[in-house]
Structure formats: structure tokens, C-alpha cells
Structure 1
Amino acid sequence: MKQLILAIVISFIITIIIGPIIIPILQKLKFGQSIREEGPKSHIKKSGTPTMGGIIIISAVFIASIIFALGNSDLMIAMLVTLGFGIIGLVDDFIKVVLKRNLGLKPYQKLIGQFIIAIIIAIYAANHPYIGTSLLIPFTNEYIDLGMLYIPLTIFAVVGTANSVNLTDGLDGLASGVTLIVSSFFALVSLGLGYYGLSIFAGTIVGACLGFLKFNYYPARVFMGDTGSMALGGAVASLAVLTRMQLFLPIIGGVYVIEAVSVILQVLSFKLTGKRIFKMSPLHHHFELKGWHETKVVIVFWMIALILAIISMLALSIY
């Protein structure tokens, strides 16, 4: 527990220290966010706010993790997965912001990179002597061995989680706040299950998200961009995989799931019927267009994430 607290504190302090250093650099380089014309009108004033702030999160997690990483392969693989997804997001942001191509990487290019990373961690976990192909079933003490189905399911979970977190990052403090709650859950659960290295890694995510909120909460001084949201998605996914808790992702990551499903339903509905289910997707924009202030949407989603975290704790028998 002492190391977990220390990991949180170190990551938090690093974020608080480097944030005021990196943000002016992003401003000077004119790495400003472009706002979609079809988006909520209230977001127009955010145009030009520095993006790619995920560099702050990744730096804090990387430095804090390195301090505790010696001799812990699980922590190292989680960190590398996070870094890998962060690099995909960084390239995407660079193309959007610097090369002025608003769509960034093409979908198939993103997916190729994501699938490569997902395959690596799936194979690593499947061949790990203390992980293997068994998954913990929520609300039971039982594990289910998926055998040959393990790798495709894990790949789907990793890629799906990364993209869902990416979709959630649309309001000031939304993705960072929700992920703070999700990573806190994994920090405590990993500790209870005996995955001490992963508990420390989750702690670095907690500290980084908490520190980043100082700069990212409304009105945001910096956005994490795909650099941050993809990295956080990779971090959450790796924690689930390495603790054998992929089946918990729809519960603890319920906010991410709802956001992703809202996009899927919106697209399907429009293509099949020509009508939209929501005023705009992802779901957080729907509530904005219904008249909710941005901070109200964020706080409500945080509360939902907290409730889901409590439910997820109840789904375990270790507490």
C-alpha cells in the first residue's frame, strides 16, 4: 500500500511540475485544437487551445513507472502498451495539428497499429504462467478458460477499450476524470489480487490523471488529444488483461462503452433509416445540445463512473 501511495504522489507531482513547462511549448508551436463546425457551438471558443497534452500524462506515467519497474515484467508490458497506443495517438495528433489534415490517420492505419499492440499483449498474457487463458467471472469466485477464444477476445477488448476512451475525450475533464476513477479501481483490485506491480502502474495513472485535471478541467488550458486518450485506453486495457479482468470492462468501463455504443447506434440508425437517435454523438454531446452545461455533463458522467466502480468492487469477492 505504501508503494501504491508513493506511485500516485510521484506521478501527481511530476504532472504538476511538467504541465506548466509543456503547455507554453505547445502554445508556442501553435499546436492548437481545431473545432468541428458541426459540433456544439459552445465549443467554438475552445479553438486554438493547446492539444497533445497527453504528452504530460505519458511522461509522468513513464517516469514514475520506471522508478518501480525493475524486475516487474507485468508493469513493463503495461507501460509499453500504454506508450505504444500513445505513439499512435501522437502521430494522429501530429497529422491533424501540424500537417493540417483534420481527419488524422486513416482508420485502417490506426487499426493496424492497434491490432499489432493488442496481439502482442494477448500472446504475452496467454503464455504467462500466472495469467494464461482464464478470465475472472464477475460476481463469482470462478474463472473461465477460453482456450483458443482467449486471444481474439482479448484483442477485441484492447482495441475496443482504446477507441472507446478516445471517443469519451470530448469535454473538459471528462476522459481524465473517468479514467482517474477506473484506474483507482484497478489500483485497489490489483493490490488485493496480489498484482503488486500492476497496482503501482495503476497508481501512476491515478496520479497523472489527477494532476492533469488541474490543467484540463473546465475551462481547459490544454487538451490531452489522441496522444492522451489512446494512451489511457491502452493503460486501462492492459490492466484488465494482465489482471484477467477483461469481463469486468463493460462494468468498470461502462461510461466508455456507453459513449462508443452511442456512436455505433447513431451511425447505424442514420444509414438504415436516415434518422438520428441522438442530437449528436458521442452521448456527452447529446446532453450538451439538450441544454446541459458542459460541467454538468462531466460531473454526471463522473458520478456514473463512480457508481460503476462500486458495482465492480461488489462483483469481486476479495473485498
Structure 2
Amino acid sequence: MRFSGRYGNAGQWIKTLLGSVLSRQQEKRIMTYAIVCLLTAALSAGATWLLCRKLSARLGMRELGVKEIPLAVRDIPGKDEYVPRCGGLLPSAAVFATALVMLLLHALLCRLGSPSGTPRLSGLQNMYVWGGLILAPLFCAAGFMEDYAEVFRSVRRAMPRWQSVLIRMAVATAFLAAIWLAGDRGAGMTVIPFVGEVRLGFWYYPLSLLLITAVVRGAELSQEAEGTVPMVGFFSFLPLVLTAGILSSVNAGMADAGIMAIAGACGCLAFLPFNHMPARLLTGRAGGAFMGGLLCAAAFAQRMPVLLLLVGGVFIAESVTALFAWVTERLCGRMVGAPLHRMIGRKEKNDEQITLILAAVTAVSGAAAAALAIFTI
């Protein structure tokens, strides 16, 4: 591995944060980023809330049936209403559309506001952004296939766990292959707090593959506890919004990562009232996989996937505990342990308490991730 500096020393960045050495061009970049983030937040939250409100109201009046909508639904016993099993498709669609529109708008604003001769973003950075944006709906589609199979077919005919994991790994592999072809060429360039720029070489790809799969799979498992994915996702996206804003003052391409993150954060926040107990719309594997994929995309677009260990720590813990339980069941014939949210639930805690505990852990670890990133880049 080879190490080299990229963003300057910490002292210079502390001065930048205090506003003492910001150039006029840097101020313009930060102002543009702030304006685009505000527009993104309003559009993402508004679109998500309107879509969820409209669907939940129609389902409450029983205007739609199981065969009339492309969402897997369940009927609540004793209640005259439906709860969509794949309600997470709505915030996923709203967040994806918002991120796509605002990324194009930000690119246009940067093109108009940049002086002639300003270098454009590299093909590799564009691949991190646009490839990551495509990554999330691909994970969402894989999750929807599982939800659809379980509800419209039967639980017995549902996809085995190992096949589900392999599909996620295949999607992540396609993303990493696109990065390699876009110009990385096996360099495995990443940035680690307190270390600087690191060339991991070949090891960058298998490590990234495991990291992406763990975050996405953990987000899918977390959706079993109502309200967990939107609340934990909100606190996971926020640190990436902050770090992207700081980085955008020296690299305009980093603002794109922040746009994806703020779209995800506000989409989660708007979806929370519909997914919180009692849930009117369930997240489903589709919604969980999308949010996990978008979180990975935002971190990789900043060239700091190591931050996922903190901002996505809860999701990774879900995957690790679920994997341990599955392995022990296969080897010993008896399951030892369970996914994280189920182990917390064994302490006689309902979904609301589970969500609050996991969200609090994510808020603390996310703040630590933001501090590490800001004061070491």
C-alpha cells in the first residue's frame, strides 16, 4: 500500500472551517451547494410525503385490492385497511427522482458559474456518482423480487438466503467493475481519516464488496422493526451531507455525494410518520435495500467508504449477527443468536424502543464519523 496526502493538513482545514482562508471561488461553491441542498431537501421530503399520504389514504378506504397495485400488501386482521408490504418503493422512487433532477441541476449551475478553463470532473468521479445512483434502484429491484415472491407466491417458495446474498454481491460487483473500467484500474484509491490517501490495490475491491453487501443486507433486515430504516437512515445520511459540503469547497465533484445524501435523509424523514408504529406503509426489503444502496453510493462518491463502518454500523451489525446465527444453525442444527434488532427485542422492548436505541447509536457514531472526516481531510 502507498500513502500520499490529498486534501492538505488539518491546520489548513481548521482555518478553512473558520472561514479565514476561503477564497471567493470556494465561497461560491459552498453557497451553490447549500442552495441545491435546500431545494433537494424540500423536493425529496415533499414528493415522499405526498406519495405516501395518497397511497395510505386510498388503502384505508379499501379503494385498492391486492391484485390492483404492483405492491405486495397484507390485510390487517380485525381492521378494514391494507398495509403495503413494499411501501418503501414510494420513498425510493421519490428520492431517486429527486437526486437525479438535482444532480443534473447542480451540474448545470457549476458549468454556468465556473470560469473558463476550469477542469471538468474526471470520468472516475462521474462513475462514482452516477454509478452509485444507479446502484440503489438495482438493489431496490432485488429486494422487491423477494417481497413479491413471499406474498404472491408463498413463504416456502421464497428465495433462499444464500441466493439473496449472491444477488446483492453481483450488483455490488457490477458497480465495482464499472469503477475499475472508468479509470481506477486496480489502484484502489480511498481516503482514510488520520492517514490520508491510501492505495489499497487489489484488496480495495473485495473489501468494498463485503462492505456494500453488509450495509445493504443489514438495511433489509432492519426493516422488520417498524420505523427503523427511516430513522436510522436519517442519522446515517446526515454526516455525509456535512462532510460533502466541506469537501465541495476544494472539489466540486464531492457536492454530488451530498446531494444524494440529503435526498436520502429527507426522504427517510418524510417516510417516518407512515412507517412508525402503527405502520401504515411497511418499508419492505425493497425500501431497505434502496436506502442501504444509496448510503453506500454517497460514501463511495466521497472516496471515503471507511465512513460506512460508523454511519452504517447498525446495518453492518445486523448483517454480522444474522450471518452468525445462520452459520451456527447450519453447523450445529441450532440457531445461536439472531439479527441485532431481534436480540434487542428479546429484552421485552417493542419496535418503537428498538428503533430509538438503534437511532441513538447511529447518531453518536455518525457524529464521530463527521468529526473524523472533517478534522483529518
**TM-score over 0.5 for the alignment?**
yes
Aligned-pair CA distance for 1:93: 1.2
**Deviation digits for residues 245-271 of structure 1, max 9, x if unmatched?**
222222221111222222233334455
2:318 paired with 1:259: yes
Between 250-259 and 21-30, the greater mean CA deviation after superposition? 21-30
User: Structure 1 317/126 Cα, relative in aligned 2: closer, same or farther at 3 Å?
Assistant: farther
Asked if 2 retains the 8 angstrom alpha-carbon contact of 1:125 and 1:133, the reply is no
Q: Show the counterpart of 1:222.
A: 281
1:238 aligned partner: 297
Superposed, which structure 2 residues align to 1:1-319 within 5 Å?
A: 1-23=34-56, 28-30=64-66, 31-33=72-74, 49-70=83-104, 71=107, 73=126, 74-101=128-155, 104-128=158-182, 133-138=188-193, 140-194=194-248, 195-270=254-329, 277-278=336-337, 281-318=338-375
Contact 1:255-1:305 at 8 Å conserved across structures: yes
Measured after TM superposition, the shift of residue 274 of structure 1 is 6.0
Give the whole-Å Cα distance in 2 for the aligned partners of 1:34 and 1:271.
34
Question: What is the distance in 2 between the residues matched to 1:273 and 1:85?
Answer: 32
State how far apart, in whole Å, the 2-side matches of 1:275 and 1:94 are. 29
Find the aligned partners of 1:274 and 1:314 in 2 and give their Cα distance: 44
The structure-2 alpha-carbon separation of the partners of 1:268 and 1:84, relative to structure 1 and needing over 3 Å to count, comes to closer
Unaligned 5+ residue runs, structure 1? 36-42
Deviation at 1:240, TM superposition (A): 2.1
Deviations 1:21-49 (A, max 9, x none): 233566733333499xxxxxxx999x963
- Residues 109 and 286 of structure 1: is their aligned pair in 2 closer, same or farther, counting only changes over 3 Å? closer
Gap change, CA 1:44 and 1:293, over 3 Å in 2: farther
Q: State the distance in 2 between where 1:24 and 1:96 align.
A: 25
2:73 corresponds to which letter in structure 1? G
Aligned-CA RMSD value: 2.8
| One-letter amino acid of the counterpart of residue 87, structure 2 | G
Mark the structure with the bigger radius of gyration.
2
Tell me the SS of whatever aligns to 2:198. strand
User: Partner of 2:85: helix, strand, or coil?
Assistant: coil
Code of the residue aligned with 1:167 in structure 2: it is L
Normalising by structure 2, we get a TM-score of 0.73
How many residues of Structure 1 are paired with residues of Structure 2 in the alignment?
308
Match for 1:105: what amino acid? M
Q: One-letter code of the match for 1:307? A: V
Secondary structure at the counterpart of residue 374 of structure 2: coil
* Cα distance in 2 for residues equivalent to 1:289 and 1:44: 26
SS of corresponding position for 2:212: helix
1:230 is displaced (CA, Å) by 0.9
Matches of 1:172 and 1:223, distance apart in 2: 7
Q: What is the rounded CA distance, in whole Å, between the counterparts of 2:78 and 2:319 in structure 1?
A: 24
Q: Secondary structure at the match of 1:98?
A: helix
- Percent identical residues: 20
1:290 Cα deviation after fit: 1.9
Q: Which residue of 1 aligns with 2:69?
A: none
Unaligned runs of 5+ in 2: 1-33, 67-71, 108-120, 249-253
**1:129-162 alpha-carbon deviations (Å, 9 max, x no partner):** 6996222223x14122111222222222222211
